[in-house]
C-alpha cells in the first residue's frame, strides 16, 4: 500500500457499504481525513470478538522497537506498512497478521510517490 491515502467517506456510508450495524461503529464523530500517513489513526473494518464486523479507528503501520545507537534508549518506533507478496507468508513481521488479523481499509483516494531516477 502507498504511504498516503484519504478517507472522506461519511461513517454512515461506510456502515452501509460494509454491512455494519450502528452499534458496532466505534468511530464516534469521525471527521473526513484528507491525508492519512503511517502512524496516523484512520477507520478500519475488522472482525469483532463475536465474529461480526465492526468499524474502529486504528493506527496505521506495524510498530517495531527502535533504539538509539548512542544511548540504547528506546526512541520513536518505525511504522512498517509495505510487505512484498513473496515474503508475507514467511516473514516474522507479517506472517501472523496475514494469516489471522486481516482488515479492510476504507479509502476514497490514494497517492503513490513517483520515483525519479537521478544519475
- The residue extents of the domains of the chain are 4-111
Q: Provide the mean pLDDT of the chain.
A: 85
The whole-model pTM stands at 0.77
- pLDDT band per the 50, 70, 90 thresholds, residue 15: very high
pLDDT value at 52 more than 80 = yes
The SS3 of residue 14 is: helix
Better pLDDT: 67 or 56: 56
Other CB atoms within 10 A of residue 92 CB: 6
For position 99, what pLDDT does the model report? Answer: 84
Q: How confident is the model at residue 107 (pLDDT cuts 50, 70, 90)?
A: very high
* pLDDT tier for residue 109 given thresholds of 50, 70 and 90: very high
How high is the pLDDT of residue 47?
A: 93
Q: Is the pLDDT of residue 21 over 90?
A: yes
> Which whole number is the average pLDDT over 73-89?
78
Residue 14 has a pLDDT of 95
User: Given this model, what pLDDT does residue 88 score?
Assistant: 82
CB atoms under 10 Å from CB of 55, counted, come to: 22
Amino acid at each position: 500500500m502507498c504511504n498516503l491515502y484519504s478517507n472522506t467517506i461519511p461513517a454512515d456510508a461506510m456502515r452501509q457499504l460494509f454491512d455494519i450495524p450502528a452499534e458496532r461503529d466505534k468511530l464516534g464523530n469521525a471527521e473526513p481525513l484528507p491525508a492519512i500517513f503511517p502512524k496516523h489513526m484512520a477507520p478500519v473494518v475488522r472482525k469483532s470478538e463475536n465474529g461480526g464486523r465492526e468499524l474502529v479507528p486504528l493506527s496505521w503501520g506495524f510498530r517495531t522497537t527502535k533504539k538509539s545507537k548512542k544511548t540504547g534508549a528506546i526512541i520513536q518506533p518505525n511504522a512498517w506498512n509495505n510487505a512484498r507478496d513473496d515474503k508475507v507468508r514467511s516473514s516474522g513481521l507479517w506472517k501472523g497478521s496475514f494469516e489471522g488479523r486481516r482488515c479492510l481499509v476504507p479509502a476514497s483516494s490514494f497517492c503513490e510517490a513517483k520515483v525519479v531516477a537521478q544519475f
